[in-house]
Amino acid sequence: MGRLEATLRARRDAGRRAFVPYVTGGYPGVDTGLLRRLAAAGADAIEVGIPFSDPLMDGGVIQEASAEALRAGTRPKDVLATIRQATVDVPVAVMTYSNPVYRHGIDAFLDAAAEADVTGVIVPDLPVDESGELEDAAAARGLDTVLLAAPGIAAERLAEIGRRSRGFVYCVATYGVTGARDRLEDTARELVEALRPRTDLPLLVGVGIGSPEQAAQACTFADGVVVGSALMARVVAGDPDGAVALASSFRSAIPT
């Protein structure tokens, strides 16, 4: 069990709920200071995106942030350097896509991640059927490979995801790409309830969590939330202070 999973399990087992903010690495303003401020705002872990030119899971806000980061010349090593230099006291996971991982080579990518004190890896376009090599290599370095579960997945596939994921299971709240929604979809509860008897891992809901009220609602049935687009929208608008203030509002709304 890696540090990410141990942290989230401890929080869950204490009857508390986790708040995991996401930010896009390499975007102007997403620096060591912002990571430290998110940790100080009450994040239980932080997810940092490594930008890729075809972020197929992501909606407009994160697509824009990823494109701008790439235009600025951001490379995976730059994002990892920011994480290493931030030295935050909460676990940090990176989210990216298969292409950057395989282009660098799984071992080289994970070695660099481990050296940067990354504790988990999320690769949303890598299906569970093809993730074994990454899972094994990550586990050998003490890194948790977080797998995603989406609405409509067959029961046997949910069980496989629940068995093989590490850190937590990323429960995709709704059909479609990332982006804040006006309401929490019923599919979020249905997915968590379907997974609950199939895994002992913490179950965190992400994709579409648009407000602190929605986060609090999700935490009535899930073990925590991942919030990205709502925060990055503030950063993209040139208001990183507003992103930190919103993160504090999410933390205050989530049961502690």
Residue 117 main-chain phi, psi, to 5 deg? 70, 25
Report how far apart, in Å, the C-alpha atoms of 191 and of each of 87, 174, 223 are.
34, 9, 13
- DSSP lists the bridge partners of residue 102 as none
Task: Please say whether the beta carbons of 44 and 12 come within 8 A.
Answer: no
Write down the catalytic residue from 5, 31, 44, 58. Answer: 58
Active site residue 47: yes
Element spanning 19, H or E: strand 18-24
248 CB-near residues (< 8 Å, 6+ apart): 41, 42
Active site residue 107: no
Q: Which two tokens stand for residue 125?
A: 């376009």
Write down the catalytic residue from 5, 47, 144, 185. Answer: 47
- Could you list the active site residues? 47, 58
